[in-house]
Chain A
Amino acid sequence: MVSRSLPFVPTYQLDALGALGDPTRRAIFELLAARPRAVGELAKELPVSRPAVSQHLKVLKEVALVTDSAEGTRRLYRVDPRGVHALRDYLDQLWDSALTAFAAAVEREEEK
């Protein structure tokens, strides 16, 4: 069994960045970063159909970049902060183990 090195970030982050590789999805994400919008608003501002926007939103939701909620009769989409928070949690753990190892290395140095 060959051991594989762990990637720096969990898979969702790869997915999230991959999802933004598509220019239309990136444009949608940028519009939602400005303010929450409904599908219809997004379709009006972009040269793509409403069903196409819905499809892109579905992908962005799957990778936790975008979230939605019902506001009255319409559904509003917004940037999902959980994606970036998950990355933070990951880095939090990474630095915990790295600094513990660092402190141990300092002790070893002192013993020399």
Chain B
Amino acid sequence: MTTGMETVAVNKSITVNAGRERAFAVFTENFFTWWPKSHHIGKADMADAVIEPKVGGRWYERGADGVECEWGVVLAYDPPARVVLSWHLQGDWGYDPDPARASEVEVQFIKETDDRTRVVLTHRHIERHTMPEKVAAGVDSPDGWGGILADYAEAVA
């Protein structure tokens, strides 16, 4: 059962043959080595993709032409347990810094044995990507957009 704005989410789980530390390191430090190369936003081919290892760090790609494109921000970085990233890629694949229109990717690394780790990924708040700009300004008004958003969340549930 989910509530509020978490109604539109993707939930994934995969078990990998490695300890938590290794699994976390491959996901974050080696992000570029496994991310599908066809999925990028820059004009040129992707030359690198980086999750900076700290809260507030950048999540970005660098194209073969040297141009860097933002994907999001590191919201939590707790090796080897979890990493949370904001996903600021909008419909036109520009970077929108407004957190009200960004979704969120949380990845948890759960120990099964010393050399098996369950990786649980949740991409939540996907509905925020279709939110109009004005919503961001009024969310804290209880009779205003907060209520409207709650209705919207219910509508898409």
Q: Residue on A with the closest CB to B27?
A: A102
Residues facing B in A54-83 (CB within 8 A) are: 65, 78-79, 81, 83
Closest Cβ–Cβ distance, residue B7 to chain A (whole Å): 9
Question: What 1/0 mask marks residues of chain B from 31 to 53 whose CB sits below 8 Å from any chain A CB?
Answer: 00111101111000110000000
Residue total for A at the interface (Cβ-Cβ under 8 A): 44
**Contact-residue bracket for chain B:** 35 or more
- Residue from A18, A85, A105 in contact with B91 in the complex, judged by beta carbons closer than 8 Å: A18
Measured between alpha carbons, how far is A107 from B90 in the docked complex, in Å?
33
- Residue from B36, B121, B152 in contact with A79 in the complex, judged by beta carbons closer than 8 Å: B152
Measured between alpha carbons, how far is A26 from B133 in the docked complex, in Å?
8
* A20 close to B132 (CB less than 8 A): yes
Asked if A6 is an interface residue, CB under 8 A from chain B, the answer is yes
Neighbouring A residues of B22 by C-beta, 8 Å: 106, 109-110
Question: What 1/0 mask marks residues of chain A from 100 to 112 whose CB sits below 8 Å from any chain B CB?
Answer: 1111111101100
Neighbouring A residues of B102 by C-beta, 8 Å: none
Listed in ascending order, the chain B residues whose CB lies under 8 Å from chain A are 8-10, 12, 14-18, 22-23, 26-27, 30, 33-36, 38-41, 45-46, 89-93, 115, 119, 121, 123, 126-127, 129-130, 132-135, 148-149, 151-152, 155-156
Q: A18-B92, A34-B151 are known contacts; what are 9 more A-B pairs with Cβ within 8 Å?
A: A8-B89, A13-B129, A14-B91, A17-B130, A20-B133, A91-B10, A99-B14, A102-B16, A110-B115
